[in-house]
Amino acid sequence: MNINRTQKICLAVSALSFVTLTAACSTSPKNYKSEGEKFLESSDLAKSAGYRYKYALCDQPQSIQTGTQYACSATDNDDNSWEFIIEITGDRELTVVSGKVVR
């Protein structure tokens, strides 16, 4: 089966929109920042997205309340830059709600 680059990106974004992470001991915005970065670089995300991300960098969220969203960026294994929006979806739980290639 041949999948072109655009289809692969769409598949990755679709997979990301359903992936969640339980962040261990995240009780402050700073903890959610680092947990978001670890999550983007995790092997679990790589399996579901079809990409391995590195150099993840997240903004610190304004609060730790459910529904708070914050921005992150990372580079995939093809050296493309990505931008993500991560949402706090529960007590110590994160969900990637969007991801797109920016370069």
Give the model confidence (pLDDT) of 18-69 as tens digits: 445 444 454 688 889 999 999 999 988 888 888 899 999 999 999 999 999 9
Nearest to 86 by CA among 44, 29, 5, 27: 29
Structural domain total, the chain = 1
pLDDT at 7: 43
Residue 50 domain boundaries: 21-101
Nearest to 23 by CA among 98, 84, 95: 95
Residue 47 falls inside a structural domain: yes
Residue 6 falls inside a structural domain: no
Residue 10 falls inside a structural domain: no
Residue 14 falls inside a structural domain: no
Residue 37 falls inside a structural domain: yes
Claim: this prediction has a pTM higher than 0.95? no
pLDDT digits (tens, 9 = 90+) for 68-102: 999 999 999 999 999 999 999 987 789 999 999 99
